[in-house]
């Protein structure tokens, strides 16, 4: 069944952070200010590659209104950051390696003074040759960007002997796939407010996908113990991986500590473009061979990634791309060689899809070309080579048994869009171009294409991947739920709220959802890798029995009733009469305070429960001594509010859990255990006069287990798909000589609503194998992966042209018109 508002019924709810966001009332962290706040700014290198000979900051320091000018000499701790490898200087010492490299930081009374101060800092540079591409970086005699050379990471995977296997192939397809540098383009650019507290602690209000990682990194840089730093990290105005790594936090923190004043930094869009992460541009060469029956005998892959000047998670992205270049297919022999290369281009790093987008664009291109080669239908060809449900993962690693691949394949096969293509194929091709009427512009050609996606979630083998959370009855009677995950617009709070309503029976107003504060939340890992919803679901599953039992036991003791007759519900503890048929919150409600009950009832056992519900709101006037057996009462009633329970319970009721994301017992770093599968079909129209492509219709089947939150699910797949639309058609952060040619959103073009028009049908496949208790799989990334290769397939269906580069170059599709 398609997922939409109608099919979601009562599960379609206004998200808790929705009204604030649509009205603009909600303040993001970068909206925050503090009294006596200074403005922080960063001086960045104008050169992609240069030696620093000297930095003269005296004039800037002397400017009235300037409170601090920091250079590398002012970094008290480690002058480096990076989640995996700390090779990115906080403030450059003797060399700059890209145009975002920071050389100095300033705190001043106003933005204008800070700006002027930056212009007064004189940096003497000696220009060095620019390493513009991985090819240049790998060439003999290339300038070395780091002490140990220009290679950040190499990885490979080999099974069988591809050379031998190629010798027995009937068809071999060789292609090189080029993918662009894509920008996250979150609405909220990087920034934050950095406040030195009276007790010497530092409070950081700055968006990040992993507060505890920022705390660790800032502790290294400032030399302060981690516990002395508090990170407030939600809500986030979009991240998509781009705010996973530190950005402005080191400068804000150091300036605040130096001046002992609150400091605010907020990147302009141009500075965000210049300094921020992008998706790795990759060149992926694939050679794949099949036998006469269409079975893949050999698959050889060479991946070259442009990782820019510093590491961040470039190595992990490459590992992910390596795994996903294999995908859900069976091969005779396989060989993958991957390398991630330092250059003087912009920083590449974490981005929704994490290397899978590039790999699957290439892999699915191969599948279509191989189907062409052997004359098979492309979708049938994929099934011919599809993994079995109990097959190991791409690296041969044990994975959670899953039939997701076949389920997604079947769903797309049955979709009306794919059936339309099947019918088009069986009919004469002439029919199609004339189907919209005689005067349809002859230069518009439509086609339908599809792509398949297998996407790992979690961080993978060998990388700490903790999960967990805490739930408690707070003294004020709120059910307080604490998680270390972040709300970056994806709907995490809405999903959490709905899970608490559905799994526990709470009402929204009973809840206080606490995230994004390292002083309060448990360290339950990062909000990355499509893992947060799975981890929250699992945490609640683990927390529920104990927490529920404790609440009910405490209530039972207070009420003098057996636990079995009680249940959790809206507002408090209810009698459980209709529990089976009416799990929700539809019973009669009464605002009852335990204190009133106690005053009214001399003997707890003698409370007339039926009287409680009649009292309306406010005071509960309870009858004495009726001694009614509540089990005979046919109506659900609220017996005890959470507030009353909290006020009377002798000890805090709290439950906590921590565990690790499920990982494969396999000695290969990054190999995954849980996968989500998806299939995408798209109808596209090519205007052959202009070479421009428009997407008319999309269908997405996603096999990810139960839908936790319908709106969030749709939002992730639709939003991801629009991101992929940009990746396919318009988005490229173009660099020339190490400088961004696309320095702002007037040249870096993300899709508008006019581009994203057209129907989008989303079909979740919720069924999991029997006994699977890993819960809902991640869907945060998978929507952003498949559309680009599906568009290329549709373009081929429309025009007969196979393209190998993203974004699509309209020149390749433009044709001389025919005048008839």
Q: List contacts with other proteins (CB under 8 A).
A: 270, 439, 441-443, 689-692, 694, 729-730, 734, 736, 741, 743-744, 746-747, 749, 751-755, 757, 810-811, 814-817, 819-820
Query: What distances in angstroms separate CA 355 from CA 259, 300, 339, one per listed residue?
Result: 41, 17, 12
Segment (H or E) for 363: helix 356-374
Q: Which residues contact 214 (CB under 8 A, 6 or more apart)?
A: 204, 206, 208, 231, 233, 246, 249
The two three-digit tokens of residue 540, written as one number:
């609640």
DSSP letters spanning 111-133: HHHHHHHHHH-EEEEEE-----S
**Least distance (Å) from other proteins to the CB of residue 809?**
8
Helix 710-729, helix 787-799: angle, nearest 10: 50
Specify the residue, 201 or 692, whose C-beta has the smaller distance to other proteins: 692
Chain centroid, CA 561 distance in Å = 46
Cβ neighbours for 147, distance < 8 A, ≥ 6 positions apart: none
Give yes or no for a contact between 348 and 279, defined as CB atoms under 8 angstroms apart: yes
Nearer to other proteins, 175 or 815 (CB): 815
Distance from C-alpha of 676 to C-alpha of 717, rounded to nearest angstrom:
12
Residue where the block lists tokens 């969030």: 712
For the CB of residue 733, give the shortest distance to other proteins in the complex, in Å.
12
Q: Is the C-alpha dihedral spanning 159, 161, 163, 169 positive or negative? A: negative
The strand pair at 511-514 and 50-56 is best described as unpaired
Q: Which is nearer to other proteins, 634 or 736 (CB)?
A: 736
Are 563 and 550 contacting, i.e. CB atoms less than 8 angstroms apart?
no
Residue with smaller CB distance to other proteins, 149 or 817: 817
Shortest distance, position 688 Cβ to other proteins, whole Å: 8
Rounded Cα gap, residues 34 and 38, in angstroms: 9
Beta carbon nearer to other proteins, 77 or 691 = 691
Contact between residue 684 and residue 729 where contact means Cβ atoms under 8 Å apart: no
User: Measured from the CB of residue 817, what is the shortest distance to other proteins in angstroms?
Assistant: 4
Neighbours of 817 (CB within 10 A): 11
**Counting beta carbons within 10 angstroms of the beta carbon of residue 802, is it exposed (0 to 12), middle (13 to 18) or buried (19 or more)?**
middle
- Residue among 525, 533, 518 nearest 468 (CA): 525
To other proteins, the closest distance from the beta carbon of 694 in angstroms equals 7
Q: Taking the CB of residue 7, how many other CB atoms lie within 10 A of it? A: 13
Minimum separation from the CB atom of position 206 to other proteins (A): 25
Report in angstroms how near the CB of residue 727 gets to other proteins at its nearest. Answer: 13
Between 193 and 725, name the residue whose CB sits nearer to other proteins: 725
- Least distance from other proteins to the Cβ atom of residue 240, Å: 19
CB of 348 to other proteins, least distance (A): 20
Q: Which is nearer to other proteins, 164 or 441 (CB)?
A: 441
Tokens 């800032």 sit at which residue?
Answer: 218
Give the nearer residue to other proteins in terms of CB position, either 629 or 746.
Answer: 746
Residue nearer to other proteins on the CB measure, 14 or 757: 757
**Cβ count within 10 A of residue 680:** 31
Comparing C-alpha atoms, which of 309, 304, 312, 318 is closest to residue 342? Answer: 309
Q: Which is nearer to other proteins, 4 or 690 (CB)?
A: 690
Nearer to other proteins, 493 or 733 (CB): 733
Least distance to other proteins, CB of residue 43, Å: 17
Q: Select from 641, 633, 631 the least CA-distant residue to 611.
A: 633
Q: Which is nearer to other proteins, 84 or 689 (CB)?
A: 689
3-state secondary structure labels for all residues of 220-288: HHHCCCHHHEEEECCCCCCCCCCCCCCCCHHHHHHHHHHHCCCEEEECCHHHHHHHCCECCCEEEEEEE
Work out how close the CB of 736 gets to other proteins at its nearest, in angstroms, rounded to a whole number.
6
- The answer to whether the peptide bond before residue 235 is cis (omega within 30 degrees of 0) is yes
Q: Give me the helices (H) in 468-585, please.
A: 492-504, 532-559
**In angstroms, what is the minimal distance from the CB of 746 to other proteins?**
6
Among 723, 721, 719, smallest CA distance to 731 is for 723
Task: Return the structure tokens found at 59.
Answer: 């004039």
Which of 435/582 has CB closer to other proteins?
A: 435
Taking the complex as a whole, how short is the minimal distance between the CB of residue 748 and other proteins, in angstroms? 10
- Closest to other proteins by CB, 411 vs 787, is 787
Q: What are phi and psi of 228, to 5 degrees?
A: -85, 0
Residue placing its CB nearer to other proteins in the complex, 575 or 742: 742
Q: How far is the CB of 268 from other proteins (least distance, A)?
A: 9
Minimum distance from residue 725 beta carbon to other proteins (Å): 10
């Amino acid at each position: 069944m398609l997922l939409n508002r109608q099919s979601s019924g009562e599960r379609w709810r206004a998200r808790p952070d929705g009204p604030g966001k649509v009205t603009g009332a909600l303040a993001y962290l970068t909206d925050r200010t503090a009294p006596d706040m200074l403005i922080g700014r960063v001086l960045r290198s104008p050169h992609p590659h240069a030696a620093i000979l000297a930095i003269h900051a005296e004039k800037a320091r002397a400017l009235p209104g300037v409170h601090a000018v920091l250079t590398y000499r002012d970094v008290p701790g480690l002058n480096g950051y990076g989640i995996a490898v700390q090779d990115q200087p906080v403030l450059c010492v003797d060399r700059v390696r890209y145009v975002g490299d920071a050389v100095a930081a300033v705190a001043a009374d106003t933005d204008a003074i800070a700006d002027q101060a930056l212009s007064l800092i004189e940096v003497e540079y000696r220009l060095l040759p620019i390493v513009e591409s991985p090819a240049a970086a790998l060439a003999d005699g290339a300038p070395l960007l780091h002490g140990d050379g220009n290679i950040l990471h190499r990885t490979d995977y080999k099974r069988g002997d591809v050379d031998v296997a190629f010798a027995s192939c009937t068809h071999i397809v060789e292609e090189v796939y080029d993918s662009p540098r894509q920008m996250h383009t979150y609405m909220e650019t990087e920034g934050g407010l950095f406040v030195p507290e009276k007790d010497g602690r530092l409070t950081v209000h700055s968006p990040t996908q992993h507060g505890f990682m920022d705390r660790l990194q800032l502790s290294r840089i400032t030399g302060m113990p981690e516990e002395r730093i508090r990170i407030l990290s939600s809500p986030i105005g979009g991240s998509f991986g781009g705010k996973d790594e530190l950005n402005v936090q080191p400068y804000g923190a150091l300036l605040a500590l130096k001046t002992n004043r609150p400091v605010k930094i907020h990147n302009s869009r141009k500075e965000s473009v210049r300094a921020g992460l992008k998706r790795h541009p990759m060149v992926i060469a694939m050679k794949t061979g099949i036998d006469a029956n269409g079975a893949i005998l050999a698959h050889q892959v060479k991946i070259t990634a442009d990782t820019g000047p510093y590491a961040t998670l470039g190595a992990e992205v490459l590992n992910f791309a390596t795994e996903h270049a294999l995908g859900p297919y069976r091969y005779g022999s396989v060989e993958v060689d991957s390398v991630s290369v330092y250059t003087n281009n912009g920083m590449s790093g974490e981005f929704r899809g994490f290397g899978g987008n590039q790999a699957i664009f290439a892999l699915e291109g191969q599948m279509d070309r191989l189907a062409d080669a052997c004359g098979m239908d492309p979708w049938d060809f994929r099934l011919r080579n599809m993994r079995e449900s109990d097959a190991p993962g791409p690296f041969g690693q044990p994975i959670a048994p899953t039939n997701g691949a076949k389920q997604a394949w079947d769903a797309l096969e049955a979709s009306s869009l794919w059936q339309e293509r099947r019918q088009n194929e069986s009919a004469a091709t002439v029919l199609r171009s004339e189907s919209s009427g005689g005067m349809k512009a002859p230069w518009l050609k439509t086609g339908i294409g599809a792509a398949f996606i297998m996407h790992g979630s979690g961080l993978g083998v060998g990388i700490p991947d903790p999960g967990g959370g805490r739930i408690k009855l707070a003294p004020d009677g709120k059910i307080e739920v604490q998680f270390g995950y972040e709300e970056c617009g994806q709907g995490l709070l809405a999903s959490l709220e709905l899970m608490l309503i559905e799994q526990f029976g709470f009402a929204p107003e009973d809840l206080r959802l606490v995230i994004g504060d390292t002083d309060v939340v448990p360290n339950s890992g990062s909000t990355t890798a499509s893992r947060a919803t799975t981890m929250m679901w699992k945490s609640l599953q683990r927390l529920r029995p104990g927490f529920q039992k404790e609440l009910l036991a405490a209530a039972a003791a207070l009420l003098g009733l057996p636990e079995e007759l009680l249940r959790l519900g809206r507002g408090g503890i209810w009698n459980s009469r209709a529990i089976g048929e009416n799990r929700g919150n539809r019973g009669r409600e009464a605002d009852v305070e335990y204190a009133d009950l106690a005053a009214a009832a001399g003997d707890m056992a003698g409370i007339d429960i039926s009287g409680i519900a009649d009292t309306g709101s406010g005071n509960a006037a309870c009858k004495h001594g009726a001694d009614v057996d509540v089990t005979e009462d046919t109506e659900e009633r609220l017996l005890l509010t959470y507030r009353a329970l909290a006020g009377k319970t002798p000890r805090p009721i709290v439950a906590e859990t921590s565990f690790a994301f499920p990982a494969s017992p396999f000695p290969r770093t990054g190999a995954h255990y849980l996968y989500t599968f998806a299939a995408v079909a798209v109808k596209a129209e090519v205007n052959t006069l202009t070479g421009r492509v428009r997407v008319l219709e999309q269908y997405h089947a996603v096999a990810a287990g139960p839908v936790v939150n319908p709106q969030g699910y749709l939002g992730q797949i639709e939003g991801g798909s629009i991101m992929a639309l940009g990746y396919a058609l318009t988005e490229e952060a173009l660099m020339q000589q190490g400088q961004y040619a696309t320095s702002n959103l007037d040249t870096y073009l993300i899709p508008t609503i006019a581009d994203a028009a057209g129907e989008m049908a989303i079909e979740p496949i919720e069924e999991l194998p029997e006994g699977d208790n890993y819960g809902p799989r991640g869907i945060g990334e998978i929507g952003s992966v498949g559309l680009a290769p599906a568009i290329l397939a549709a373009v081929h269906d429309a025009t007969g042209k196979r393209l190998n580069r993203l974004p699509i170059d309209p020149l390749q599709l433009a044709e001389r018109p025919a005048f008839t």
